[in-house]
Amino acid sequence: MGRYIRNPYVGKEAASSEEVTEKWLEQAVKVIADQIINREFDDEEKHDGSSSRQARFLCGDLGVYVTQMSNPELRQSLVEKIEKISVTLAKDDYPSDEMLVGRAGFLSGVLWISFYDLLSDTEERAVRESADWLMSTQDDEGNFASSVKWIGRERGDDQLVHWCHGAPGVILLCLTMWKRYGEQKYFRAALRCGELIWNKGVLKKGPGICHGVGGNGK
């Protein structure tokens, strides 16, 4: 199922721009969210990768589930669906996936936790140890690899400095760890990220958050 809303601008920009109102957007988003929430979960979808798409926060069903958790009527059913997704992805025969480092639903996004009170001491220690490992992979320029397979490998001019891949996303994790634990190593890592973003973060891919200058400015 598509993850987009039809763009009414194409081919008739001036006239169609009048159609894009807050009410129109709310209706379009509600239609898509309802379709995602109400469709049944099928663990056999793993064979074509569909259940992986369901588990993605940014481009999959999981992001919709989380944003709808504030609705008490939906909360229990959404929790059950998330649990089913987790069970499917944890199976030994589930296809492996690339371990991405960036912010947008990847490793640094997973480790960026606001509600520490929900974690046990053991769970919080595991999160901190994982974050410490990630910080240790910061390169000489202050950047982070886009995925684990690129750690320690030179990419030359193909370096990624995006909110979704690289320092612009990981800097949020660095600052969160510094605020939580007060250790200067996290703040120093954030400063190095900031210097890199300042020097190389004015991207040419438009104003968007994920791959554009908007994310780096954020």
Supply angle C-alpha 135, 120, 176, rounded to 5.
Answer: 35
Could you tell me which residues are beta bridge partners of residue 100?
147
- What is the distance between the alpha carbons of residues 132 and 4, in angstroms, rounded to a whole number? 36
Asked whether residue 210 is marked as a ligand-binding residue, the answer is yes
Distances (CA, A) of 204 to 144, 193, 200: 20, 19, 11
Backbone dihedral region for residue 99 (phi beyond 0: left; psi -120 to 50: alpha; all else: beta) = beta
Tell which residue, 138, 80, 136, 130, has the closest CA to residue 106.
Answer: 130
Binding site members for Zn(2+)? 164, 210-211
Annotated binding site: 164, 210-211
